[in-house]
Amino acid sequence: MFNSSHFHPMLVHFPIAIIAVGFLFDLLSHFLKKEVWLPKAGYWLEIIGMAGAIFAFGSGYFFTSPMEGEAGIMREKHELYATFTLISIIIATLFRIVIVYINKDNTNLKYLSLGLLFISFVFVSITGYLGGTLVLEYMIGL
């Protein structure tokens, strides 16, 4: 029988990968200026990563069971960094959408946008690490 606690593990891997690849594409676009597809791909990956992060956060919030002891402490850290990730990717994406919309994406604002996306990348990496620790060290979901 299908268990709703599987929603979170099923959804969470996509935003991790998409945010990381979006950041990589944006970073590379600053060095490979002739590759005009890189910033466009990074832009759309950032939007898709934000949407995926919203769903992943919601699935973790609504569909995972409470935990006690050391696993509970680790889950609280995971949730805290998931919140940081969600807030940072929303801010980074909305900022990027605004600078693209006002046609300022080829100004120095692109560096601020890249910095915001880097912060999101760091937070999603920490969140993923803590989630992996929950699964591997505390056997959550196995």
Q: Can you read off the two tokens belonging to residue 131?
A: 């989630």
83: CB partners within 8 A, 6+ apart: 57
Can you tell me whether residue 124 is helix, strand or coil?
Answer: helix
Render pLDDT for 49-104 as a digit per residue (tens, 0 to 9). 999 999 999 999 998 888 899 999 999 999 999 999 999 999 999 999 999 999 99
Domain boundaries, the chain: 4-138
- Classified as helix, coil or strand, 3 is coil
Reported as a single tens digit per residue, the pLDDT across 23-52 is 999 999 989 988 999 999 999 999 999 999
Residue 106 binned pLDDT confidence (cut-offs 50, 70, 90): confident
Phi-psi label, residue 139: left if phi above 0, alpha if psi -120 to 50, beta otherwise: left
